[in-house]
Amino acid sequence: MSTKKIIKRLAKLKKTVAVAESITAGGLAAAITEIAGASKVFLGGVIVYSDEAKIKQLGISKKLIAEYTAVSEQVALEMANSVRKKFGSDYAIATTGVAGPKSAYGQKPGTVWLAITDGKSTLTIPLSLSGDRESVRNAAIESAIATFSRILSS
């Protein structure tokens, strides 16, 4: 399902989505909002690139980041839950990871976590991507869109 079909499907279902982005740095929101009609289903998003932004903007606990790092399933999950509540959306998508060439967290560049939630159930997905920063970011965006498409199709 393409991004255009996601927008149409959300509109048909009368559902909304919000995003919390770290590794994708606004690219996921841009991919969604480049489609006409997105304003009916896309409520907004936050770019929380630093740990401090995750803490201040989304209320992610310092303890959680210290224990698991910002590039973890636990933090991706909290990002998704928090942004869904912040915007009051039906769905939320979160991305966190290491684009490279180095990592402040000790993970290999290309390590990415996606989280998608509807408030009742949540899917978290680890990705191991390769390539330069741009390739890793683009692959993370494509993976988030493809995963969300599968969720909406089921």
CATH number at residue 116: 3.90.950.20
Residue 29 has phi, psi (to 5 degrees) of -60, -40
Rounded CA-CA distance 20/28 in Å is 9
pLDDT of residue 112: 97
pLDDT of residue 67: 96
Q: Which domain holds residue 46?
A: 3-153
The distance from CA 37 to its chain's CA centroid, rounded to whole angstroms, is 21
Rounded CA-CA distance 58/52 in Å is 10
The distance from CA 109 to its chain's CA centroid, rounded to whole angstroms, is 17
Q: Does the pLDDT of residue 66 top 90, yes or no?
A: yes
- Picking from 93, 121, 87, 125, the residue whose alpha carbon sits closest to that of residue 22 is 93
- At residue 91 the predicted structure's pLDDT band, cuts being 50, 70 and 90, is very high
Q: What is the pLDDT of residues 92-136, one digit of tens each?
A: 999 999 998 777 667 788 999 999 999 999 999 999 999 999 999
pLDDT of residue 145: 97
Q: Does the pLDDT of residue 23 top 80, yes or no?
A: yes
Residue positions counted in the chain: 154
pLDDT of residue 109: 87
pLDDT of residue 140: 97
Rounded CA-CA distance 7/35 in Å is 8
Which parts of 63-121 are beta strand (E)?
91-97, 111-117
The total number of structural domains that make up the chain: 1
109 prior amide bond cis, ω within 30: no
